[in-house]
């Protein structure tokens, strides 16, 4: 079977799997793969997950904290970044455990299929060497792109005749940046198609190239379940560096109370203070923490706005003719497209 047919089958299986439920006793996780001894002579396929796509564990104890069944119902431990300096509820230091295959909600009763059908299909019954590339989906995306560049180089040195990338959702932003800039820093990046010269095929699955307004909603209201508002509360979501990379800087579509478009620029840090966005929605008495939050917001907005602009891959020379790209989008499911920013929410 060709890789193209395998990808078509994999996407269909994954799409169907996302709509179905499984009921395992515990969630399955693909561990970080470091042994490349079996790659020689086999085409390699790297899979990049999206937002929430990897399991996170306590760096000290090794216990998984994102996500276990009990957390869905009663978990109180947030998974924020820089909780001490940003004044969020205390969060432990976390590290990546691996990529989710499926997630159990209620043991033996209800669970969700995540990436296992896709990973299994991409292997083409063992013909391809599949690497589930798990990363910390809360962090800045450029370091992840640099790690992706290192992985591609390692696979080629290990004997892979060609390397392909399949990227879902936010993982597609990482892949796009890598194609154009390789491991370059955001501040000094120049389009040279460094990554595109090293891979043969790239598949994007539902990638928000121009951002998604839903992330701003989550930063304002959290993403906790109705029965557990503490799990992913607004301050936690605002502490994640990756949240800022998903903001729709290029086309925000914000509307006022009368339904008319507002000419607001999400890349302007003063807007966040004026409209009480992100951390500004939850002021604290400690001025040092408020200053840290302001600087954090300013830095992340500037860095992620630049990253998103670079990921459009515009200007400069054309990509290598040998590179093949497939961009898959969904139809039929309504997607949040506009944000409501009423005047009364201004400071």
Residue 340: per-residue pLDDT: 83
User: Measured in whole angstroms, how far is the alpha carbon of residue 65 from the centre of its chain?
Assistant: 18
Residue 26: per-residue pLDDT: 64
> Would you say residue 13 has pLDDT above 80?
no
Q: Phi and psi dihedrals of 129, rounded to 5?
A: -95, 105
Q: Band the pLDDT of 6: cuts 50, 70, 90.
A: very low
> Would you say residue 15 has pLDDT above 70?
no
- Model's pTM, two decimal places? 0.89
Residue 50: per-residue pLDDT: 97
Residue 69: per-residue pLDDT: 64
Residue 3: per-residue pLDDT: 40
Q: Residues 240, 245, 251, 253: what is their CA dihedral angle, to the nearest 10 degrees? A: -10
Q: Phi and psi dihedrals of 314, rounded to 5?
A: -105, 150
Nearest residue to 341 (alpha-carbon basis) of 270, 257, 258: 257
For the record, the structure tokens of 229 come out as 């508002």
Q: Is the dihedral of CA 264, 265, 270, 272 positive or negative?
A: positive
Nearest residue to 97 (alpha-carbon basis) of 45, 61, 135, 71: 135
> Would you say residue 232 has pLDDT above 70?
yes
Find out whether 300 and 268 touch, Cβ atoms under 8 Å.
no
Residue 347: per-residue pLDDT: 55
Q: Band the pLDDT of 200: cuts 50, 70, 90.
A: very high
> Would you say residue 167 has pLDDT above 80?
yes
Distance CA 22, CA 113 (A): 6
Residue 294: per-residue pLDDT: 97
Q: Band the pLDDT of 9: cuts 50, 70, 90.
A: very low
Distance CA 151, CA 261 (A): 44
Residue ranges of domains in the chain, CATH in brackets: 3-209+312-328 (3.40.50), 214-308+336-345 (no CATH)
> Would you say residue 94 has pLDDT above 80?
yes
Angle at 218 between CA 138 and CA 173, to 5 degrees: 45
Instruction: Tell me if residue 198 falls in helix, strand or coil.
Output: coil
Residue 256: per-residue pLDDT: 87
pLDDT digits (tens, 9 = 90+) for 299-312: 999 999 999 999 99
Per the model's pLDDT, the better-predicted residue between 2 and 301 turns out to be 301
For the record, the structure tokens of 335 come out as 């997607």
Residue 1: per-residue pLDDT: 40
pLDDT digits (tens, 9 = 90+) for 102-159: 887 667 767 788 999 999 999 999 999 999 999 999 999 999 999 999 999 999 999 9
> Would you say residue 10 has pLDDT above 50?
no
Find out whether 173 and 245 touch, Cβ atoms under 8 Å.
yes
Residue 330: per-residue pLDDT: 84
207 to 51, 243, 263: CA distances (angstroms): 11, 14, 25
Residue 72: per-residue pLDDT: 59
81-84 contacts: CB < 8 A, separation 24 or more? Answer: 81/138, 81/139, 81/239, 81/240, 81/241, 82/239, 82/296, 83/239
pLDDT digits (tens, 9 = 90+) for 131-140: 999 999 999 9
Distance CA 162, CA 159 (A): 9
Residue 112: per-residue pLDDT: 80
Q: Band the pLDDT of 16: cuts 50, 70, 90.
A: very low
Per the model's pLDDT, the better-predicted residue between 108 and 261 turns out to be 261
Distance CA 145, CA 149 (A): 6
């Amino acid at each position: 079977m060709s890789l193209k047919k395998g990808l078509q089958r994999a996407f269909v299986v994954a799409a169907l799997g996302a709509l179905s439920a499984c009921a395992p006793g515990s969630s399955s996780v693909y561990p970080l793969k470091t042994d490349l001894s079996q790659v020689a002579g086999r085409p390699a396929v790297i899979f990049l997950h999206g937002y929430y796509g990897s399991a996170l564990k306590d760096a000290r104890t090794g216990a998984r904290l994102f996500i276990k069944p009990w957390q869905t119902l009663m978990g109180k431990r947030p998974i924020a970044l820089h909780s001490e300096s940003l004044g969020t509820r205390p969060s432990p230091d976390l590290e990546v455990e691996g990529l989710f295959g499926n997630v159990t909600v209620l043991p033996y009763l209800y669970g969700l299929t995540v990436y296992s059908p896709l990973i299994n299909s991409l292997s083409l019954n063992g013909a391809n060497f599949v690497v589930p590339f798990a990363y910390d989906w809360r962090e800045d995306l450029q370091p992840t792109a640099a790690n992706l560049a290192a992985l591609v180089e390692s696979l080629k040195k290990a004997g892979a005749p060609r390397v392909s990338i399949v990227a879902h959702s936010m993982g597609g932003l990482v892949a796009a940046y890598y194609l154009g800039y390789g491991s370059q820093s955001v501040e000094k990046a120049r389009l040279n198609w460094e990554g595109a010269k090293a891979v043969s095929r790239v598949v994007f699955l539902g990638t928000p190239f121009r951002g998604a307004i839903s992330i701003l909603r989550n930063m304002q209201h959290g993403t906790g379940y109705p029965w557990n508002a503490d799990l992913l509360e607004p301050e936690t979501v605002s502490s994640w560096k990756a949240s800022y990379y998903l903001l729709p800087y290029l086309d925000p579509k914000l509307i006022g109370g009368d339904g008319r478009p507002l000419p607001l620029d999400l890349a302007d840090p003063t807007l966040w203070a004026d409209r009480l966005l992100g951390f500004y929605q939850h002021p604290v008495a400690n001025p040092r923490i408020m200053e840290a939050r302001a600087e954090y917001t300013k830095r992340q907005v500037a860095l992620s706005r630049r990253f998103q602009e670079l990921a459009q891959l515009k200007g400069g020379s054309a990509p290598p003719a040998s590179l093949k790209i497939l961009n898959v989008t969904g139809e039929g499911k309504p997607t949040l497209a506009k944000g409501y920013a009423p005047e009364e929410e201004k400071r």
